[in-house]
Amino acid sequence: MTVSELPTHMENKMRNLLAIGAQMGALLTPLANAQAAAQQPPKIEHPPGRMVEVNGTSLWVETEGKGEPLVVLVGGPSNSHVSMHPAFSALSDRFQVIYYDYRGRGRSTPAAPREVTFNGDVADLEGLRVALGLPRMHIYGFSYGGLVAQAYALTHPDRVGRLILANTLYSAEMWKLNHDNINAEIQRQYPEVWERIATLHAKGVRSSAPEMQELFAIHGPLIRWYNPDKAHLLWKEEGSVNKALYWEFVGDNIDFEVGGEVAKLPDFRHRLHELRMPTLIMAGRFDRALYPQLQMDFKRYCPQAKFVMLERSGSFGHVEEPETVIPLVRAFLDAQN
């Protein structure tokens, strides 16, 4: 039945409703456009940067601000530093904030994946300190960067002023548990996806296979974020992930077994009590991969550290909860003064 086929009184009501609907649609369109615009990736503006010669290669280094140096170590063994922007710029009024791309990643000189090692990343951090002429430095290590930070602080304790570890790991075992937890969450929340993953795995398809990665991609919003709507705030750009290096570093079946450099990682738990410098450890309450029960091990093995649980964060506290993280870091670094 069309509007014209209705009785007159009903026809008038229907026309009025349609007119109201059209008006509401006109009102909602700008809101929908605004919401869509809000989901667009933010414009990326890097601080000034330059190449610095370190241990036979060149590392891309960016700095902003003046004062005591704070070196920010990115997470992800194949990532550029871009995901650490822009939160730490807020500290540049008081500190010289230093970001850099690890060997072979981002804008640093390319390197063959097999030439990149965990021990090499630790040695490059010391090489960078020397190249920049820094007697001492504060370190913020996020995720994989926290592993580098732990190794460096234990090896060069006199070169670290204050140490901050954020949503990090302490061993290859913890890295494996990270992936076990991801698998369990997918299995519980997306059983139809897990069924396809399990079928491919049973056929011998490795994690690095494109068809497997397409399925595993579903885990990011589910597992890494307190509020998945903020995922678009994580800065990315072309070349920010070296995928070939990633599979060499972690092993080509990392979702089921650790390999590559990850399998060689030290277990830092029984040495964390040796950290002599003031240490702050932060963890996200809603990180469902490196979940709080695992993070509490840091509190147990490093009792001298200040431990803070971020109540509105998943993995990326500096993205989801900068209003908490940055003041915490500022207060911690300023406490020495």
Summarised one tens digit per residue, pLDDT across range 209-238 is 999 999 999 999 999 999 999 999 999 999
The domain ranges of the chain are 8-33, 51-337
Which alpha helices (DSSP H) does the chain contain, by range? 8-38, 118-132, 144-155, 172-189, 191-202, 210-216, 219-223, 243-250, 292-301, 317-320, 322-334
Check residues 70 and 6 and name the one with the higher pLDDT.
70
Partners of 58 in the β-ladder: 53
pLDDT at residue 1, rounded to an integer: 47
Q: Are 85 and 44 in contact (CB under 8 A)?
A: yes
Give the Cα separation of 193 and 187 in Å (integer). 8
Give the tens place of pLDDT for each residue, 253-285: 999 999 999 999 999 999 999 999 999 999 999
Q: What is the mean pLDDT of residues 18-31?
A: 42
* pLDDT above 50: residue 290: yes
Model confidence at 50, pLDDT cuts 50, 70, 90, reads: very high
Residue 264, token pair as written in the block: 């060689």
In the sheet that holds 279-284, the strands lie side by side as 49-54, 57-64, 95-100, 68-73, 137-142, 160-166, 279-284, 306-310
Q: What is the C-alpha to C-alpha distance for residues 124 and 109, in angstroms, rounded to an integer?
A: 13
In this prediction, residue 43 carries a pLDDT of 74
Q: Is the pLDDT of residue 140 over 70?
A: yes
Which pLDDT score, from 0 to 100, does residue 41 have?
56
Query: Can you tell me the mean pLDDT for 93-121?
Result: 98
- The share of the chain scoring above pLDDT 90, in percent, equals 86
Q: List CB contacts of 168: < 8 A, sequence separation 6 or more.
A: 75, 141, 142, 143, 144, 145, 146, 147, 149, 150, 290, 298
Cis bond upstream, residue 322 (ω within 30) = no
pLDDT at 42: 64
What CATH number has the domain spanning 51-337?
Answer: 3.40.50.1820
- Answer whether residue 3 shows pLDDT above 50: no
Structure tokens at 24: 């509401």
Distances (CA, A) of 250 to 3, 29, 209: 64, 46, 14
**Burial class of residue 79 (count of CB atoms within 10 Å of its CB; 0-12, 13-18, 19+):** buried
Q: If you average pLDDT over residues 130-154, what whole number do you get?
A: 98
Q: Is a pLDDT exceeding 80 seen at residue 11? A: no
Average pLDDT for the chain: 90
pLDDT of residue 44: 82
d(CA 84, CA 149): 15
